[in-house]
Amino acid sequence: MNAAPQNFSPVARRVFRLTPLAFAILLSGCAVGTDYLRPANWLPDAFQETPTAEVKIENPSVNARWWSLFQDETLSSLIEQALTGNADLRTAVARVEQADAAAREAGASFFPNVDAQASGNNTHLSEKTATWTVNSPEILRARSAGLSLSYELDVWGRVRRSNEAARANLLANQYSRDAIQLSVAGLVAGNYLSLRALDAQLAVTEESLKSREESARLVKTRVDAGLVSPLDQYQADGALAALQAQRADLRRARALAAHQLALLTGKPDLQIAAGDLRQLPLPPVPPAGLPADLIEGRPDVREAEQRLIAANANIGVAKAAYYPKFSLTGGIGSESKTLSDLFSSGASTWSGGLGLFMPLLDFGRTSARVDQAKAVNEQSLIAWQKSLEVAYKEVRDALVNLRENGVAENAQQQRVDNARNALKLARLRYDAGYSGFLEVLDAQRVSNDALLAMIATRQARLTAAVELFKALGGGWQSAS
């Protein structure tokens, strides 16, 4: 590889042999700018909302299929459809492809540009010019072919820093895609829980409607028999109409929730069969002493750090403009008057050179660009710190919601049991003539409200589990 072509002159062969040495010397320079050093994490070691314990986390990264913990095939199917059909996610994938191409373009700067050229010219000289003589040829002919090379010697690390920034931007876009995947999965899960809560509320409403229809028939029979006042009938019919309106409103809300899921999954004609939120299992409880550094695996936190790495590298790119640029150029080829002699002996040509470009006076333009890069780096640092703070806050919120909604659901169950017992007693009192029908209506209303409230609390508890999975970047994996 180091042998120079034998038909070159001694000087050309000497330059050819010294070129690798020049490369080695010039490329041994240090890259300007500081290497990235990750800032210290100032967050607490563990979340205060979980009991303190020594917990070893095997893998703090994203649990890719956290939704499978809900053990619902319909939910899993909807999320899988969304991860392939959601418009926002497809856009994020396209941005990753763009960033990958940009990184490959930046990596190509490590290698020289080699161009091929060929030309053929016929020139007729004017007889009216001062250079024309009787011996001048009528037509000047020239044929040439060759290869040219140009290469920027990365003495100060400008190309290396540019590649560092490009790689960081690529990773940032990949993490942005992962963050959107996590967000889309969370949105689908949240809307699915809303849909199933509406299904459960519809089921409760249908049961209440049957009970009130039966009560209305019994009241009518008693009114026709003259046992009670027609006022009881009006009250029974009014309560029945109120439940019918409640059912219509729940049906409307259920249809809108299904339409939202169709949009999230990219399936406009999506149809979802009825279900019941109460059939879903309770979410797993996070382990005691959940370490706070789990949030460092969140895609948005990783994206923010990669943006910081890119911004740090761009400071070096800007500082490289203070120093001279060295460029290596060369060419090899052949020239002749005729095409038949183009590659014959004596037609070869070559050229080689080392160029230098040194800024002398730019009136502060380079300094301004360096200051801009430093300011962007500072903004990126703040954005990374904020992403950690937001993630920490979201996990704490989700832990509190999960715990307190669990307590509230137990209380709501007691409320439901008491309301059912009160309704039974009210019916017995009414049938025995000890109380008016208004007492039965009030007991029915309280029982209906208690059932709806319990369903809402169960939905809030499951939604808190979804928010915890999202806040942790997917979940946790404790050592077995």
* Residues 380/308, Cβ–Cβ less than 8 Å: yes
The domain boundary residue, chosen from 358, 377, 408: 358
The answer to whether residues 342 and 300 belong to one domain is no
Q: What is the pTM of this model?
A: 0.77
Dist. CA 460–CA 355, nearest whole Å: 69
The answer to whether residues 149 and 46 belong to one domain is no
Beta strands in 134-292 (DSSP E): 139-153
Dist. CA 36–CA 313, nearest whole Å: 8
Tell me the pLDDT of the chain (480 aa) as tens digits: 444 444 444 544 544 454 544 444 444 456 787 888 888 777 776 676 554 444 444 444 446 688 888 888 999 999 999 988 888 888 888 888 888 888 777 777 777 777 778 777 777 767 667 666 766 666 767 777 777 777 777 778 888 888 889 899 899 988 988 888 888 999 999 999 999 999 999 999 998 888 888 888 888 888 888 877 888 888 888 888 988 999 999 999 999 999 999 999 988 888 999 988 888 888 777 777 677 778 888 899 999 999 999 999 999 989 888 888 888 787 787 787 777 767 777 777 777 778 888 888 888 888 999 999 999 999 999 999 999 999 999 998 999 999 899 999 999 999 999 999 998 998 888 888 888 788 888 888 899 999 999 999 999 999 999 999 888 887 666 544
Per DSSP, helices labelled H in 290-364 are 299-319
The answer to whether residues 267 and 411 belong to one domain is yes
What domain count does the chain have?
A: 2
The answer to whether residues 271 and 340 belong to one domain is no
The answer to whether residues 53 and 162 belong to one domain is yes
- Flag whether 58 is in a domain: yes
Dist. CA 109–CA 236, nearest whole Å: 83
List the CATH number of the domain containing 141: 2.20.200.10
The answer to whether residues 303 and 428 belong to one domain is yes
Range of the domain at 436: 31-111+157-324+367-471
- Flag whether 12 is in a domain: no
Per DSSP, helices labelled H in 27-147 are 73-85, 87-107
